[in-house]
């Protein structure tokens, strides 16, 4: 997350006062404070005035930061190049900002973000460490350093940094989500489940979290719990074939073959070339007593070019299906 400057609590009220005064002055000049009455030029001036206000706030609160107009321009250029995916160009601006002010924690943080994009995970980790040294209460630098460590396969180090990020900002949901993924890699499934639960508590409308938690529950053989999470995912995002496929697999595990076949049907409807849906539907049909339907799915697989099904039907095990298909 590239950022310009960080607010203090005091800074927020100064910023709010600025907005109120701007609103009043515009009302007094009979210019309504709504977008329709603004030209882009006027809007730009106000935005840059806001930036100037933020710079003033940060300079007052932290004397280590000296944000001149030149420094501000370099920040804006660095951020613009980052947003345009010109990461080397962005890197050069943050390099200059650090040369100009080696105590600028934001510059180290932003350069770390850019280095992550450039896959320089060692360099990014060092920059986040420097940002933390200058600002030990910066939860985001711990969060992003954890990402750098996970890219370097330092899972325990990443886990510790996510812990610290959460300690400093207990409501930053992405830290719980990322720590859940680390916990899964460390096979700490109970910890991962707690993290997914917390993420969902903070983001109840995020469908992917339910899908991920459902997958985790399937790992620990909680098939009914997984089905519930896939239900919620499908409720929020009904157009993803893989959710129906995953829920079908869980229904097969609890021997609900008719429900599984229904979900495989939907998965195939959304993605007609998905070989795994045909394979597993053939198994569900067989387990449910529909040998003919199972054989028809094998035929579809052969038409899709599934070499495994071709080999099967040519074998002794597939003799019964060959007779049905007159192969």
Express each pLDDT in 56-91 by its tens digit: 223 223 344 556 888 888 999 999 999 999 999 999
Choice between 45 and 89, residue whose per-residue pLDDT is larger: 89
Average pLDDT in the chain? 84
Mean pLDDT of all residues in 235-260: 97
Q: Distance (Å, rounded) from C-alpha 147 to C-alpha 124?
A: 10
Question: What pLDDT does 63 receive?
Answer: 40
Confidence of residue 28 (pLDDT cuts 50, 70, 90): very low
Per-residue model confidence as pLDDT tens digits over 165-182: 999 999 999 999 999 999
Question: What pLDDT does 1 receive?
Answer: 66
Tokens of 113: 């973000």
Choice between 157 and 6, residue whose per-residue pLDDT is larger: 157
Question: What pLDDT does 23 receive?
Answer: 40
Question: What pLDDT does 65 receive?
Answer: 53
Per-residue model confidence as pLDDT tens digits over 127-169: 999 999 999 999 999 999 999 999 999 999 999 999 999 999 9
pLDDT at position 9 over 70: no
Cβ contact 245:262 at 8 Å: no
Tokens of 84: 């345009």
In CATH, which of 1.10.3720.10, 3.40.50.300, 1.25.40.10, 3.40.640.10 is domain 66-169?
A: 1.25.40.10
Question: What pLDDT does 4 receive?
Answer: 55
Least trusted range by pLDDT, from 62-71, 117-126, 310-319: 62-71
Taking the domains of the chain in order of start, what are their residue ranges? 1-63, 66-169
pLDDT at position 121 over 50: yes
Number of H helices, E strands in the chain: 18, 0
Question: What pLDDT does 327 receive?
Answer: 75
Q: Distance (Å, rounded) from C-alpha 208 to C-alpha 125?
A: 28
Least trusted range by pLDDT, from 38-42, 224-228, 257-261, 295-299: 38-42
Choice between 108 and 47, residue whose per-residue pLDDT is larger: 108
pLDDT at position 244 over 80: yes
Per-residue model confidence as pLDDT tens digits over 192-223: 999 999 999 999 999 999 999 999 999 999 99
Record the pTM: 0.77
Over pLDDT 70: what percentage of the chain?
Answer: 80
Which residues, in sequence order, are CB contacts of 45 under 8 Å at separation 6+? none
Question: What pLDDT does 142 receive?
Answer: 98
Least trusted range by pLDDT, from 30-34, 64-68, 131-135, 248-252: 30-34
Mean pLDDT of all residues in 15-40: 36
**CA 169 to chain CA mean position, Å:** 18
pLDDT at position 33 over 50: no
Which residues, in sequence order, are CB contacts of 160 under 8 Å at separation 6+? 146
Mean pLDDT of all residues in 88-97: 96
pLDDT at position 31 over 50: no
Question: What pLDDT does 83 receive?
Answer: 94
Question: What pLDDT does 56 receive?
Answer: 28
Which residues, in sequence order, are CB contacts of 107 under 8 Å at separation 6+? 94, 97, 98, 101
Question: What pLDDT does 70 receive?
Answer: 85
């Amino acid at each position: 997350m590239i950022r310009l400057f960080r607010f203090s609590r005091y800074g927020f009220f100064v910023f709010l006062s600025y907005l109120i005064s701007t609103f009043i002055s515009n009302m007094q000049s009979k210019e309504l404070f709504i977008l329709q009455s603004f030209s882009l030029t006027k809007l730009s001036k106000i935005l840059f005035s806001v930036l100037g206000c933020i710079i003033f706030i940060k300079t007052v609160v932290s004397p280590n930061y000296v944000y001149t107009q030149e420094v501000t321009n370099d920040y804006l250029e660095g951020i613009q190049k980052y947003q345009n995916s010109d990461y080397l160009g962005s890197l050069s601006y943050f390099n200059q900002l650090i040369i100009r002010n080696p105590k600028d924690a934001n510059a180290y943080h932003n350069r770390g973000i850019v280095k992550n994009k450039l896959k320089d995970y060692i360099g990014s980790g060092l920059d986040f460490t420097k940002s933390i040294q200058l600002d030990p209460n910066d939860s985001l630098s711990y969060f992003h350093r954890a990402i750098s460590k996970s890219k370097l396969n330092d899972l325990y180090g990443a886990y510790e940094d996510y812990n610290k990020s959460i300690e400093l900002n207990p409501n930053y949901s992405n830290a719980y989500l990322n720590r859940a993924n680390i916990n899964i890699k460390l096979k700490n499934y109970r910890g991962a489940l707690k993290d997914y639960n917390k993420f969902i508590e903070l983001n109840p409308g995020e469908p992917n979290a339910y899908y991920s938690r459902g997958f985790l529950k399937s790992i620990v053989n909680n098939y009914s719990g997984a089905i519930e999470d896939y239900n919620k995912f499908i409720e929020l995002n009904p157009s993803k074939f893989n959710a129906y496929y995953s829920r079908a697999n869980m229904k097969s595990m609890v021997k609900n073959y008719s429900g599984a076949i229904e979900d495989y049907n939907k998965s195939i409807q959304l993605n007609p070339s998905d070989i795994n849906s045909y394979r597993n539907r053939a198994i569900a049909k067989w387990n449910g007593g529909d040998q003919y339907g199972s054989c028809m799915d094998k035929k579809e697989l052969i038409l899709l070019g599934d070499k495994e099904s071709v080999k099967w039907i040519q074998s002794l095990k597939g003799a019964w299906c060959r007779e049905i298909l007159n192969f």
